[in-house]
Amino acid sequence: MTGTTTKPLRAALLGYGLGGAAFHAPFLAALPDFDLAAVVTGNPERAAEVRRRYPDTDVVASAAELFGRAADFDLAVVTVPNRFHAPLAREALDAGLHVVVDKPFAGTAADGRDLAALAAARDRLLCVFQNRRWDGDFRTLRGLIDRGDLGDVLRFESRFERWRPEAALDAWKEDTDPAALGGILYDLGSHLIDQAVALFGKPLSVYAELERRRPGVGVDDDTFIALSHAGGERSHLWTSAVAADLGPRLRVLGSKAAYVKYGLDVQEAALRAGTPAAGPDWGTEEPGAWGRIGTPGETVPVPTLPGAYQDFYTGIAAAIHDGTPPPVPLTESITVLEVIEAAQRSAREGSAVEL
């Protein structure tokens, strides 16, 4: 990968649903390392919204049109329904663009390896948008582990739970076609697995329970995954659309102390509300929501580090300009796909699967 200019990277955003509008465009428009040069959407209402919010940004009707003028851009950001992640990432790489792609970046680990090989052959960056590595609670936990405040980590419990007993059966995430990569394992499960991999590396074995709880749903909406790691840590991961009581976001048990944190990172709500991204108080959590560290009867609050989704994109710019390592190693994103495939097999067979 080479980069000789420090001019803002001309970014083309493919897709302007929730991901494009809330998680990508605000940072690409706000950060000095980037120019939000184009947004691809064929939806008239979304096109009008782009023109209103970003008047200097081109609105392009199709990916084919965008790739036909690929020389006008440096970076493609792929944020579309899951089934199109890998095909559009491949087209963008073939067009000579660096690529950021939403998770899951492919349906299988084999497809992920093929994309990685293509990126290497094209001398282009390919990086998966695992923004939850920059949640304030996760950043705080990493600091506690790195400082040894918990001792040896024995069990890492992590949850993304919701109470949505009525499914939106017409949504693409509920599509039963395997090619759609629907279901909660591919969706929120990708984040949970990625965080466990980031902390403890590639797991040794995977056990999973993938359930369909809501009437009419044809994909998993209630999932549990257990991972064993080489260092002796155990990761227990839950994601559900039918959790009538929400458990702790993080409960991490160590040989010296435990860290327990409730509630979600504040950045998503701020982005959905249209709060300008990456301002001076960005990602700051109120003290009443902080987690606690300690042992039974002796716990103290731990200030939550500010959430920092902007750091992902700062890392992308550095990787392209300076050749520094990407903010999310592609090998770890392929490991996430390996774990997903192992989880699917485990659920079918009812036993743990070794990696």
321-331, pLDDT tens digit by residue? 999 999 999 99
- Residues 141 and 13 reside in one and the same domain: no
CA distance 233 to 148: 14
- Residues 174 and 48 reside in one and the same domain: no
Asked if residue 2 has pLDDT above 50, the reply is: no
Q: Which two tokens stand for residue 138?
A: 């996760």
Residue 119 Ramachandran class (φ > 0 left, ψ -120 to 50 alpha, else beta): alpha
- Residues 155 and 260 reside in one and the same domain: yes
Q: What is the band of 176 on the pLDDT scale with cuts at 50, 70, 90?
A: confident
**Residue 324 per-residue DSSP state:** P
DSSP string, 196-263: HHHHH-S-SEEEEEEE--STT--S--EEEEEEE-TTS-EEEEEEESB-SS---SEEEEESS-EEEE-S
Mean pLDDT of 292-317: 98
Mean pLDDT of 285-310: 98
Choosing from 82, 99, 129, the residue where a domain stops is: 129
- Residues 183 and 299 reside in one and the same domain: yes
- Residues 94 and 163 reside in one and the same domain: no
Contact 216, 169 (CB under 8 A): yes
Q: What is the band of 172 on the pLDDT scale with cuts at 50, 70, 90?
A: low
- Residues 139 and 125 reside in one and the same domain: no
DSSP-derived 3-state class of residue 164: coil
Asked if residue 201 has pLDDT above 50, the reply is: yes
Q: Give residue 174's pLDDT.
A: 78
**How much is the mean pLDDT over the chain?**
96
Q: Specify the pTM.
A: 0.95
- Residues 55 and 139 reside in one and the same domain: no
Indicate whether 330 belongs to any domain: no
- Residues 302 and 196 reside in one and the same domain: yes
Asked if residue 123 has pLDDT above 90, the reply is: yes
DSSP-derived 3-state class of residue 190: helix
Asked if residue 163 has pLDDT above 80, the reply is: yes
Indicate whether 326 belongs to any domain: no
Asked if residue 148 has pLDDT above 60, the reply is: yes
Choosing from 129, 147, 179, the residue where a domain stops is: 129
- Cα distance between the two ends of the chain: 30
- Residues 278 and 200 reside in one and the same domain: yes
- What's the pLDDT tens digit per position in 67-76? 999 999 999 9
- The CATH number that applies at residue 105 is 3.40.50.720
DSSP string, 10-24: EEEEE--SHIIIIII
Mean pLDDT of 280-305: 97
- Residues 54 and 94 reside in one and the same domain: yes
Choosing from 94, 112, 129, the residue where a domain stops is: 129
Indicate whether 321 belongs to any domain: no
Domain extent at residue 264: 133-311+338-354
CA 288 distance to own-chain centroid? 26
**Residue 105 per-residue DSSP state:** S
- Residues 153 and 88 reside in one and the same domain: no
Indicate whether 2 belongs to any domain: no
Asked if residue 346 has pLDDT above 60, the reply is: yes
Indicate whether 183 belongs to any domain: yes
- In this prediction, what percent of the chain has a pLDDT beyond 70? 98
Indicate whether 281 belongs to any domain: yes
Indicate whether 149 belongs to any domain: yes
- The CATH number that applies at residue 242 is 3.30.360.10
Contact 152, 258 (CB under 8 A): no
Q: Give residue 84's pLDDT.
A: 96
Q: Give residue 167's pLDDT.
A: 83
- What's the pLDDT tens digit per position in 273-284? 999 998 889 999
Cis peptide before 104 (omega within 30 of 0): yes
- Residues 122 and 152 reside in one and the same domain: no
Candidates 235, 248, 300; CA nearest to 137 is 248
- The count of domains in the chain is 2
Q: Give residue 147's pLDDT.
A: 98
